[in-house]
Chains A and B, each alone.
Chain A
Amino acid sequence: MENIIYMDHAATTPVDPEVLEAMEPWLREQFGNPTTLYSLGLVAHGAMEQARTSIAERLGAKPEEIHFTSGGTESDNWAVKGIADALQNKGKHLITSTIEHHAILEPMEFLEKRGYEVTRVPVDSTGLVDPEEVRGAIRPDTILISIMHANNEVGTIEPISEIGAIAREAGVTFHTDAVQTVGKIAMDVEALNVDALSLSGHKLYGPKGIGALYIRNRVRVTPLMHGGAQERRRRAGTHNVPGIIGLAKALELATDRMAEESVRERGLRDRLWAGLQERIPDIALNGHPTLRLDNTLNFRVEGIEGEAMILCLDMNLIGVSSGSACTTGSLEPSHVLLAMGIPAEYAHGSLRLTLGHSNSDLDIDYFLDTFPGVVSRLRDMSPVYNKPVA
């Protein structure tokens, strides 16, 4: 298999070699179940609790507030369904935004069909949620607000601390999907004013199949997974010890490298965007110009379609993602771009690039050399793009 220039780190990331090394013993000779009472189990249990503490420290949380799950989707499902269920005697109104990941939107819709009411707060043209809109949506029967920390498609970073403060003032439980920010932005659950927070291992160079849900002490959440007594009887299932060790190691490495890596990726990303704007007419940024993840570049290309761009780039060994309908698997393009007021035809012609560890200046150069040709080719083929190509 040939090496591709991978620019889709928001979709997933490779496991860091140091993470794999840390995980290995727990896949081999240290295979114990942490709830068993003999040495093999006790050793696994010790390592797991160390991992829990390590993760908690990096989030400004207490160890017992960290609960391991199978990933971001489970954490999101648990937060929404678990909190809604636990507090249903207080009310059945939920607030979220129009640009959340499907792992939040789908559970919300699921609850809507079961007698809950959901208010979906809109975003502006850059993808920002206005805290005042959230405040305005709060009712006496509101029991949960869930707003993502940063959007996975356009990278816009939401004002979580402000929204959290508003939620706290109103006595409403506040959850954030931080799947795209943990490991990229320094975070502290106190500073963020959150009661619950989701994270996922494979977005930060950890393994797939592991994540966590931070739940502030005294916040009530009904379990999603019933069975054994793991995670203080809140999330049943034999612990994925290798995954847990991997997650902790990945977060440790990401935190250590965070300052340097974010500057590096931002530099590459900004050079890429500047270079594209010089070389290709009729393209525009989707997202906030500054309040945006350092590695994310989502832009629309007039007159052509997203999947076709992905295929052409793949032919040139470059891997990226798109907001077109063909890639969402439905007839609608990205709900995030549409929520930002981007017309459907532009949403269909949008590309998302998310840089990461493996990307270098050479990758940027290669993309800048290759992509204009892709655009010309597809614009020649397009029945709607009429302007002369640069």
Chain B
Amino acid sequence: MYSEAVMDHFRNPRNMGVIENADGVGEVGNPTCGDMMRITIKVKEDRLDDVKFQTLGCGAAVATSSMVTEMAIGKTLEEAEDISNKSVAESLGGLPPQKMHCSNLAADGLHEAIKDYRARHSGEPATT
């Protein structure tokens, strides 16, 4: 059912865990749906210095959250905001059609974390 890339991320998830004193936290999904992610980020000079994930969900959910952290680390906040559900799924070599909704959570989770960071820092001068 799943591509090699998805299984690789499921077997060896990247950046699994929680950042202590995170600069932004994004939570999406809920246990009632069987799909939930928490993404924590560390921001340094407008770039994502570190991103970690925790996920409750199926193989696709775990793989997409792992992949999104890999895609996001090192990017600027703007670049990270451009990461889409589609690009996450594509980076994994595609997902079965009934699993596409899982990929939605990963990108959304990242965006929520960035939104949270921005909300905490609203009113501060933008860094160059």
Interface size on A, residues (CB 8 A): 25
User: B16 → chain A, closest Cβ, in Å?
Assistant: 6
* In the complex, per-residue mask of A369-385: 1 if CB is within 8 Å of any chain B CB, else 0: 00000000000111111
| Segment with Cβ contacts to A, from B41-49, B58-66, B76-84 | B58-66
A311 interface residue, CB < 8 Å from B?
A: yes
Given A307-B59, A381-B62, A383-B56, A344:B34 Cβ within 8 A = yes
Q: Contact check, B56 vs A382: say whether CB atoms are below 8 A apart.
A: yes
**C-alpha gap A308/B60 in the complex (Å):** 9
A329 interface residue, CB < 8 Å from B?
A: yes
B94 interface residue, CB < 8 Å from A?
A: no
Interface size on B, residues (CB 8 A): 26
**C-alpha gap A3/B32 in the complex (Å):** 35
A201 interface residue, CB < 8 Å from B?
A: no
User: A389 → chain B, closest Cβ, in Å?
Assistant: 14
Kindly list chain B residues whose C-beta atoms are within 8 Å of the C-beta of A381.
Answer: 13, 16, 54-56, 62
B121 interface residue, CB < 8 Å from A?
A: no
Q: Within B6-29, which residues are at the interface with A (CB < 8 Å)? A: 7, 10-11, 13, 16, 27
B128 interface residue, CB < 8 Å from A?
A: no
Kindly list chain A residues whose C-beta atoms are within 8 Å of the C-beta of B57.
Answer: 305, 308, 326
Q: Contact check, A345 vs B34: say whether CB atoms are below 8 A apart.
A: yes
B119 interface residue, CB < 8 Å from A?
A: no
B51 interface residue, CB < 8 Å from A?
A: no
Given A304-B56, A311-B59, A384:B33 Cβ within 8 A = no
Kindly list chain B residues whose C-beta atoms are within 8 Å of the C-beta of A325.
Answer: 33-34
Beyond the given A344-B34, A381-B16, please list 6 additional residue pairs across the A-B interface where CB-CB is below 8 A: A308-B62, A311-B58, A348-B34, A380-B16, A383-B27, A385-B56
The interface of chain A, by Cβ under 8 A from chain B, is 303-308, 311, 315, 324-326, 329, 331, 333, 343-345, 348-349, 380-385
